[in-house]
């Protein structure tokens, strides 16, 4: 049996599970690369990335790539919560693009951050604006 290249495997995934668009999977692959590089830079010895570590890497990478537009981009892609990334990871695993350990589970992506806390809150003003009333204008002097 001939092994499919990445693009062909990705097309199979999107056809089988149309909840998420191709771009979401490409982003996820890039976010995993970003997470692995960050872990190497931090000299973390364990090469395996857990679900929660990947979610944190996704958060950092998304903010770096899209800034305050993250919620809009993710919504367009069909990604609404961390569990969606878990489903996508396991879709990658099902075709051999990603690997997993015996203890890895789609449940590893549950209970992480909310998208509001991760992608909206960082861009909210720190303090609500203080509304002060300006003094009433002084009466105009009559011109003679």
| pLDDT tens figures, 113-125 | 999 999 999 999 8
Asked, for residue 89, whether it belongs to a domain, the answer is yes
Give the pLDDT confidence score for residue 44 in this predicted structure.
75
The more confidently predicted of residues 52 and 44 is 52
Asked, for residue 17, whether it belongs to a domain, the answer is no
Asked, for residue 18, whether it belongs to a domain, the answer is no
Cβ neighbours for 62, distance < 8 A, ≥ 6 positions apart: 27, 31, 70, 73, 74, 119
Range of the domain at 88: 24-123
SS3 breakdown of the chain: % helix, strand, coil, rounded to 5?
60, 0, 40
pLDDT digits (tens, 9 = 90+) for 73-106: 999 999 999 999 999 999 999 999 999 999 999 9
Asked, for residue 43, whether it belongs to a domain, the answer is yes
Asked, for residue 70, whether it belongs to a domain, the answer is yes
Asked, for residue 92, whether it belongs to a domain, the answer is yes
**The CA-based dihedral angle spanning residues 67, 68, 74, 79, taken in that order and rounded to the nearest 10 degrees:** 100
- Domain total of the chain: 1
Asked, for residue 82, whether it belongs to a domain, the answer is yes
Give this prediction's pTM: 0.82
Asked, for residue 3, whether it belongs to a domain, the answer is no
């Amino acid at each position: 049996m001939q092994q499919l290249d990445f693009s062909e495997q990705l097309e199979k995934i999107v056809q089988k599970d149309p909840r998420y668009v191709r771009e979401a999977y490409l982003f996820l692959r890039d976010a995993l690369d970003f997470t692995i590089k960050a872990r190497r830079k931090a000299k973390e010895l364990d090469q395996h990335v857990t679900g929660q570590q990947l979610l944190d890497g996704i958060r950092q990478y998304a903010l770096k790539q899209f800034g305050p537009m993250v919620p809009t981009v993710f919504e367009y892609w069909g990604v609404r919560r961390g569990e969606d990334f878990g489903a996508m990871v396991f879709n990658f695993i099902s075709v051999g693009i990603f690997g997993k350990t015996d203890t890895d589970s789609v449940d590893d992506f549950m209970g992480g951050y909310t998208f509001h806390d991760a992608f909206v809150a960082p861009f909210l003003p720190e303090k609500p604006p203080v509304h002060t009333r300006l003094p009433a204008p002084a009466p105009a002097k009559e011109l003679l």
